[in-house]
């Protein structure tokens, strides 16, 4: 495969001989342990709702699976009226129309109390290679999520939603993330784009041009 069609490294990604080993983005500690486990088990491992920090590896690579990871730090797009910011990150995998993984999100600043959610990713998921967003060609992934831990009383455990990722191809990158929830958690609906967003959607270390 030509070098310009190799999947980009993302803070950092490591392609090892004999297969792709994806090192996670900064800010994914404990998400690998949560990714792919049932919601009850994931929640049981969370001593508090505060999002973990640090670095970890993505879930074990399943043959033929698409690995996804992302990290975002900064205000939503457009910026929220309160001036709050968000740190949102996650990791998991996609196989045969189903996704697993975990996502953690923290809203803070702007005079608001810090709010934390842990989201379990599990269920039917849509992968869309070779789509165009913001004038760029890339791959989209819609992840089904359920709130498995929350310190926001207005957004209870069990609320469902979706997280939509778009990772552009080639050397010019403009990635986007969109979080959407059922009405109980609609205050957590956010969109992110620009340099603050880093997304990896890869299969065997390469960009995804077709659904496996």
pLDDT tens for residues 103-134? 999 998 877 778 899 999 999 999 999 999 88
- pLDDT for the residue numbered 29: 37
**Whole-angstrom distance, CA of residue 71 vs CA of residue 54:** 12
Q: Find out whether the peptide bond into 64 is cis, omega within 30 degrees of 0.
A: no
- pLDDT for the residue numbered 114: 84
Give the tokens for residue 163.
């997280």
Beta bridge partners of 57: 23
- pLDDT for the residue numbered 1: 40
82: left (phi over 0), alpha (psi -120 to 50) or beta: alpha
pTM score, whole prediction: 0.74
Kindly list the domain boundaries of the chain, sorted by start residue. Answer: 3-207
Going by the DSSP 8-state scheme, the letter that residue 153 receives in this structure is T
> CA Rg, the chain, in Å?
16
- pLDDT for the residue numbered 32: 39
Q: Decide: helix, strand or coil at residue 18.
A: coil
For CA atoms 102, 108, 175, 165, give the dihedral sign. Answer: positive
- pLDDT for the residue numbered 50: 60
Q: Decide: helix, strand or coil at residue 188.
A: helix
Q: How many helices (H) and strands (E) does the chain have?
A: 2, 13
Low-confidence ranges of the chain (pLDDT < 50): 1-47, 53-58, 60
* Cβ atoms of 87 and 73 closer than 8 Å: yes
């Amino acid at each position: 495969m030509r070098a310009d069609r190799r999947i980009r490294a993302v803070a950092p990604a490591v392609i090892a001989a004999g297969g792709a080993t994806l090192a996670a983005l900064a800010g994914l500690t404990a998400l690998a342990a949560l990714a792919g486990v049932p919601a009850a088990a994931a929640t049981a491992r969370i001593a508090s709702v505060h999002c973990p920090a640090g670095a970890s590896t993505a879930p074990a690579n399943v043959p033929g699976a698409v690995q996804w990871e992302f990290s975002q730090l900064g205000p939503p797009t457009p910026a929220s009226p309160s001036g709050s910011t968000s740190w949102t990150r996650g990791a998991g995998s996609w196989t045969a129309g189903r996704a697993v993984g975990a996502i953690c999100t923290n809203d803070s600043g702007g005079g608001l109390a810090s709010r934390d959610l842990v989201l379990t990713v599990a269920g039917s998921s849509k992968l869309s290679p070779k789509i165009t967003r913001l004038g760029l060609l890339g791959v989209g992934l819609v992840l089904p999520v359920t709130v498995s831990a929350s310190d926001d009383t207005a957004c209870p455990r069990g609320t469902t939603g979706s997280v939509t990722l778009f990772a552009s191809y080639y050397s010019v990158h403009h990635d986007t993330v969109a979080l959407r929830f059922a009405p109980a958690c609609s205050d957590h609906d956010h969109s992110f784009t620009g340099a603050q967003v880093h997304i990896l959607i890869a299969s065997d270390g390469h960009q995804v041009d077709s659904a496996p």
